[in-house]
Amino acid sequence: MARRKKQQEAEETLVDLVEVKGQASDFFEKNQTNLLLGLTALLLLVGAYIFYTQFVKAPKEKEAMEALAQAQTQFERDSFALALTNPGGGFSGLLDIIDNYSGTKAANTARYYAGISYLQLGQNDAAIDYLSDFSAGNTILSYTKHGAMGDAYSEKNEFDNAIASYKKAAAAGSNEVLSSYYLKKLGLLYEKQGNAGEAKAAFEKIREQFPTSTEGADIEKYITRVAAKG
C-alpha cells in the first residue's frame, strides 16, 4: 500500500513537471517576439551606454578638465573674475564649464571654485548658490564648502545659517586644522551675538581636543574673555 502511494506521488510529480515544462514552452512560443525584442532593447541600451561612456563622456570630461586647469590657474593668482569668465588661452571660464559640461566631475568642481570666487568678490548670494550645488562627497572639501558658506551667511548677517554652516565645517573631527579653525569662527560668532555660554563651549572644545593647533595656542585668552562676559 505504501509502495503504491509513493509510486502514485512520483507519477503525479512527473505529470506536474511535464505540465510545467509544457507551460514554459507554450509561454516562450507565445511571447517569443516580445522576449526577443526585450533582449534586443537591452543589448542596445548596453551598447549605447558603452558608446556614450567611451566616445562622448570621456572626451567631454577630458576637455572640461583642460578648461578647468586654466581657470584654476587664474583662481590661484587671486584673479577671481577672470577665473569665472575669461581665464585666457581661449578656454572656458568656470561659469561656462558648469553650463557646457554638465554632468562631468570638472563641472562639479567648477561649482566649488565659482562659489569661492564669488565669496572673494563679495557676491555672497552667488557664492552660497554655487557652493550649495557643489557635491563634495566624503572629502575635505565638504568641510571647506560649509565653512565658506558660513562666511557668506555671516557677511549677509544671516547668523543662524552661518552658525549651522560653521558647525558642519567644524565636524571635520580628526582634521585638527579645519576643526579648530571653524570652531574658533563659531565661537567668535556666538560671542558677537552675545551668547557667551556657547562661545565659551566652542573655545573650550578647541582647548580640550586641539590644544596643539594654531588656534589652540592662544585659546585660553578667548575663554577668559567670554567667561568674564558670562
pLDDT confidence band for 162 (50 / 70 / 90): very high
Residue 19's pLDDT is 56
Would you state the pLDDT for residue 15?
44
Domains of the chain with bracketed CATH: 41-135 (no CATH), 143-230 (1.25.40.10)
N-to-C CA span, the chain: 95
Q: What is the DSSP string of 47-112?
A: HHHHHIIIIIIHHHHHHHHHHHHHHHHHHHTT-HHHHHH--STT---HHHHHHHTTTSHHHHHHHH
121 pLDDT exceeds 80?
yes
Confidence (pLDDT) at 63:
86
Q: Give the pLDDT of residue 229.
A: 84
**DSSP tag of 138:** S
Confidence band, pLDDT 50/70/90 cuts, at residue 174: confident
Question: Is 154 within 8 Å of 182 (Cβ atoms)?
Answer: no
The whole-model pTM stands at: 0.74
Please state, rounded to an integer, the average pLDDT across all residues of the chain. Answer: 83
pLDDT of residue 36: 53
Instruction: Report pLDDT for 167.
Output: 95
| Weakest mean pLDDT among 57-61, 98-102, 223-227 | 57-61
- Predicted confidence at residue 139, as pLDDT, reads 84
Cell 571647506 belongs to residue: 144
Report which DSSP code applies to 73.
H
What is the spatial distance between Cα 117 and Cα 71, in angstroms, rounded to a whole number? 11
28-86, pLDDT tens digit by residue? 566 666 555 555 555 555 544 444 445 345 667 888 899 899 999 999 999 999 999 99
Answer whether residue 100 shows pLDDT above 90.
yes
